[in-house]
């Protein structure tokens, strides 16, 4: 039988986080290219592309050229099993990256060299810091003019509060970007753009920094600046310290251009060596080691209709400990009973393959017939009360009644809303007195309504319109003597129930929320859905 500890040590699971347009999906595509998972890289720009980016598998993503949902991409490289999670960058889809980070053992933070550290990246960085997730930094778009590399390192410390250690160092910028110097191997990797415009892998030409040929190729000025920069980094920069990196106190920094492939393979090679294998996870019964004989995992994502022909639903399970085997019986703590995991897949975005076994650190897709919710834990050979921390449901900030243009399609609307809302991006509410038959939907970002409308039409053949509601705040409520009528009569509030029949108050603004808190001391107003 396969050695469990050895298999766990070969796993690398990471998420890529960034601000929109920093090049996250492009970097993902190039990591797949150099990892051997694909033979030609696609483009995220739909109008010009002959091939779409692998991770942007949804029709809407291909039409708009943006990522709206996270993708799971798995491949083997350099003796390691890689689980790569590509996440949306736009703030309107922020819930997906927050949940996806729960499945990752480390994160790659992508920064646009011209824009530096941007607010959405800072928020995701703080999530990583709270969870103790190591962060690797890739400063992208060096083929365009941007901030000085030393200024970018200063931003990491001043804005994010983390020290950095450059693993490589760029030479030139924009059209003068020649390549990167590898500080560990002490060689310069020179790149030349090729006719494929980044669709195929390119080889780096490597020279030692004191090689006369390098000085000739770079030019005297660029070579002298490289030598000066390296001397400064050796004296004033933080030394490489893997323990500090894995503790999240130091971020290794790489420079390159995902679009032109400059520096991508150098990053991938260094990353798989430095990135941590699956770590110990904290459960309700205490720490659980990844190589424990106890099998455990947590559902962090549900995706409906990945196969349009079958309208299937997949629950993505991060294996936290032990070994998965096809057909195994596991205990489902929320349901309070055992279930059989008869079938499982590993994924390359939308493409999938059957698997017979998997290990801690892997992400498997389970066919879901309605058994799973985001945050569910599964366990075998361990206590039945072993669960992991709930993945919180965020409070929506935008609300609308949804209307179907053809009444005879109402059944399809209800089915589509039920399926899509279980993915977690859109939340579904109903009036407490059933006085209005039109359901209410809520979302953290207003672009989610566009996604919902597109998917209802494309996947369920239902044409809908939205009637915006004047609310901007929602709170789940708990407390003795809660009377929904007392709130329903107020002009600034409405009482509804969520998909799981939990009472929720919708309010116009934070002022209305504070007024209710002052007026109803015996009631809890929760920003996250209660467990």
Cα–Cα dist 263/140, whole Å: 10
Let me know: does 167 contact 186? Beta carbons within 8 Å: no
62-96 burial code (b ≥16 CB/10 A, e <16): bebbbbbbbbbbbbebeebbbbbbbbbbbebbbbb
Cα–Cα dist 319/414, whole Å: 32
- State how many domains the chain has: 3
DSSP assignment string, 335-385: TTEEEEE--EEEEETTEEEE-SEEETT-EEEEE-SS---TT-EEEESS-TT
138 and 58 in a single domain? The answer is: yes
261 and 214 in a single domain? The answer is: yes
Q: Can you read off the two tokens belonging to residue 33?
A: 């290219």
Say yes or no to pLDDT of 213 above 50: yes
Q: Can you read off the two tokens belonging to residue 330?
A: 């596991």
Domain boundary among 274, 305, 321: 274
Mean pLDDT of 60-68: 49
Q: Which domain holds residue 174?
A: 15-69+90-274
Q: Is residue 74 part of a domain?
A: no
Radius of gyration, CA atoms only, the chain: 25
265 and 406 in a single domain? The answer is: no
511 and 493 in a single domain? The answer is: yes
Q: pLDDT class for 142, splitting at 50, 70, 90?
A: very high
Read off the pLDDT of residues 326-380 as tens digits, 9 standing for 90 and up. Answer: 999 999 999 999 999 988 888 775 677 889 999 999 999 999 988 999 999 999 9
Mean pLDDT of 248-269: 94
Cα–Cα dist 480/224, whole Å: 74
pLDDT at 46: 40
Residue 455 sits in a domain whose CATH number is: 3.30.70.3280
Q: Is residue 76 part of a domain?
A: no
Residue 323 sits in a domain whose CATH number is: 3.40.50.300
270 and 346 in a single domain? The answer is: no
217 and 134 in a single domain? The answer is: yes
231 and 111 in a single domain? The answer is: yes
Q: Can you read off the two tokens belonging to residue 454?
A: 């597109």
Read off the pLDDT of residues 438-478 as tens digits, 9 standing for 90 and up. Answer: 899 999 888 889 889 988 998 889 999 999 999 999 999 98
403 and 500 in a single domain? The answer is: yes
49 and 155 in a single domain? The answer is: yes
Beta strands in 381-508 (DSSP E): 398-404, 426-431, 440-443, 464-468, 473-478, 493-497, 503-507
Distances (CA, A) of 43 to 49, 56, 259, 261, 318: 6, 9, 9, 13, 28
Judged on CB neighbours under 10 Å (0-12, 13-18, 19+), 300 is buried
Read off the pLDDT of residues 403-425 as tens digits, 9 standing for 90 and up. Answer: 988 888 889 999 989 888 888 88
375 and 428 in a single domain? The answer is: no
Q: Can you read off the two tokens belonging to residue 219?
A: 């030019």
Q: Is residue 434 part of a domain?
A: yes
Say yes or no to pLDDT of 104 above 90: yes
155 and 35 in a single domain? The answer is: yes
Model pTM score: 0.86
Q: Is residue 341 part of a domain?
A: yes
65 and 180 in a single domain? The answer is: yes
């Amino acid at each position: 039988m396969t050695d469990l500890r050895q298999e766990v040590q070969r796993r690398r699971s990471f998420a890529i986080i960034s601000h929109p347009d920093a090049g996250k999906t492009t970097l993902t595509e190039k990591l797949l290219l150099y990892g051997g998972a694909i033979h030609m890289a696609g483009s995220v720009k739909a109008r010009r592309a002959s091939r779409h980016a692998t991770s942007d598998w949804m029709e809407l993503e291909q039409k708009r050229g943006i990522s709206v949902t996270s993708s799971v991409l798995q491949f083997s490289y350099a003796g390691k099993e890689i689980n790569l999670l590509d996440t949306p960058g736009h703030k309107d889809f922020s819930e997906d990256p927050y949940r996806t980070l729960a499945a990752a053992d480390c994160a790659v933070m992508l920064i646009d060299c011209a824009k530096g550290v941007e607010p959405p990246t800072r928020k995701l960085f703080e999530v990583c810091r709270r969870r103790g997730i190591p962060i690797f930094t890739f400063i992208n778009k060096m083929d365009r003019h941007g901030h000085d590399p030393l200024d970018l390192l200063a931003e990491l410390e001043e804005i994010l509060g983390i020290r950095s250690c450059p693993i490589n160092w760029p030479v030139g910028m924009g059209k003068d970007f020649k390549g990167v110097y590898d500080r560990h191997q002490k060689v310069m990797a020179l790149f030349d753009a090729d006719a494929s415009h980044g669709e195929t892998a390119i080889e780096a030409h490597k020279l030692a920094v004191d090689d006369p040929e390098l000085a000739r190729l770079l030019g005297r000025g660029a070579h002298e600046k490289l030598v000066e920069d390296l001397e400064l980094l050796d004296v004033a920069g933080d030394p490489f310290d893997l323990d500090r990196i894995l503790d999240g106190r130091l971020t290794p920094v790489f420079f390159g251009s995902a679009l032109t492939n400059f520096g991508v393979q150098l990053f991938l090679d260094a990353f798989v060596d430095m990135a941590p294998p699956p770590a110990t996870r904290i459960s309700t019964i205490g720490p659980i080691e990844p190589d424990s004989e106890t099998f455990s995992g947590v559902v962090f994502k549900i995706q409906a209709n990945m196969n349009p022909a079958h309208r299937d639903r997949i629950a993505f399970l991060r294996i936290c400990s032990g070994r998965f085997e096809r057909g195994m019986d596991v205990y489902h703590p929320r349901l309070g009973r055992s279930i059989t995991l008869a079938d499982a897949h590993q994924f390359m975005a939308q493409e999938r393959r059957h698997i017979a076994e998997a290990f801690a650190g892997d992400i498997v897709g389970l066919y879901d017939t309605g058994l799973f919710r985001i945050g569910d834990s599964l366990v075998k050979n361990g206590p039945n009360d072993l669960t992991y921390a709930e993945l919180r449901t965020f409070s929506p900030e935008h609300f609308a009644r949804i209307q179907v243009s053809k009444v005879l399609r109402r059944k399809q609307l209800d089915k589509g809303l039920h399926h899509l809302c279980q993915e977690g991006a859109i939340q579904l509410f109903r009036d407490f007195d059933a006085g209005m038959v039109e359901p209410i939907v809520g979302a953290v970002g207003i672009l989610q309504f566009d996604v919902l409308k597109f998917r209802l039409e494309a996947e369920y053949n239902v044409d809908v319109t939205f009637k915006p509601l004047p609310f901007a705040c929602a709170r789940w409520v708990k407390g003795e003597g809660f009377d929904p009528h007392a709130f329903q009569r107020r002009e600034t509030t409405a009482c509804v129930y969520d998909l799981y029949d939990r009472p929720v108050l919708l309010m116009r603004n934070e002022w209305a929320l504070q007024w209710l808190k002052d007026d109803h001391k015996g009631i809890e107003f929760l920003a996250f859905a209660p467990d």
